[in-house]
Amino acid sequence: MGGSVAWAAADPYAAALRTGRGPLFLRRTDGWLLPLEVERWCAGADQVDLEVLDRCEGAVLDVGCGPGRLVAELAARGRPVLGIDVSGAAVDHTIELGGQALRRSVFEPLPGEGRWDTVLLMDGNIGIGGEPSVLLERVAALLRPGGLLIAETVPGHVDERARVQVVDTIGAARATGAPFPWARLGTPALLRYARRAGWRSVGQWSAGGRCFAALRTRHASRTAEPPKSTAVISSQRVRKPSGERPVADR
């Protein structure tokens, strides 16, 4: 939870989303910088994104939706979809694009728990919270039995943990909020964690220099009630964010 507050309080991140451009970085405590692709996030869904969205099933929860390009595209297709993000600027942008979004951490109570058909962890969001095994356990609780997770990973055999801040310059970087935990995973590392947690791999692919893995929860129930896709979303009233408070009734 502390990491969520730190990210939400990162003024450079909010400013970059509002302008639609960087530079923006995650800065590790040892000074290492990871560039963030603000321009791509703030643009419309590209061909690589569209191929990912074509694989989605039923009602979709986009965790860490950012400025909402994927939520907006799925909504335009008529797909039940909800984005969540700890950044008020991200939620605002998503709503302005015509999507539905809540200012909420994935580790807070969410609508439709246990009934989502697909969860997306795109743009490095497999790193949320800094402990992939904990995040995978949480996502499994959000999905229906046999539900689908599509996660974007980094190329290669990467399995890193760090405490980071969001900054907008390389030198004397401006940042607000305490450092928060983050992780970076390649597909091999993600699959190791997933197997231990009872997931099964149903696909791996690369496109446009980006890497993805599709996982499915085990123990699919043939007698489970189909998810009430519309009710999953409409059961919560979406409001504009105010300060650091969530934007949905619980």
Q: What is the pLDDT of residues 64-122, one digit of tens each?
A: 999 999 999 999 999 999 999 999 999 999 999 999 999 999 999 999 999 999 999 99
- Per-residue pLDDT at 174: 57
**Neighbouring residues of 2: CB distance < 8 A, sequence distance ≥ 6:** 178, 180
How sure is the predictor about 38, in pLDDT bands with cuts at 50, 70 and 90?
A: very high
> What pLDDT score does 233 carry?
55
**Bigger pLDDT: 222 vs 112:** 112
Instruction: Give residue 2's pLDDT.
Output: 41
* Residue 124 DSSP label: T
d(CA 3, CA 87): 12
β-bridge pairing 101-103 and 81-85? parallel
Sign of the CA dihedral with 158 first, then 52, 104, and 142 last: negative
Q: Does residue 129 surpass a pLDDT of 60?
A: yes
Of the pLDDT bands very low, low, confident and very high (cuts 50, 70, 90), residue 178 is confident
Check pLDDT > 80 for residue 244.
no
- Give rounded-to-5 percent helix, strand, coil for the chain: 30, 30, 40
- Nearest Cα residue to 85 out of 63, 108, 107, 70: 63
The pLDDT value recorded for residue 169 is 81
Residues 6+ apart with CB under 8 A from 171: none
pLDDT at residue 237 is higher than 50:
no
pLDDT at 206: 98
pLDDT for residue 147 is more than 70: yes
Cβ(176)–Cβ(15) under 8 Å? no
% of the chain beyond a pLDDT of 70: 80
Does residue 153 sit in helix, strand or coil?
strand
The answer to which of 114-128, 174-188, 222-236 has the lowest mean pLDDT is: 222-236
pLDDT higher at 10 or 59? 59
pLDDT given for residue 230 in this prediction:
46
Give the per-residue pLDDT at 122: 98
For the residues 110-135, what does the mean pLDDT come to? Answer: 97
On average, the pLDDT of the chain sits at 86
Take residue 157 and report the two structure tokens written for it: 């055999």
**What's domain 45-160+178-234's architecture?**
3-Layer(aba) Sandwich (3.40)
173 versus 90: the higher-pLDDT residue is: 90
Tell me, what's the pLDDT at 221? 43
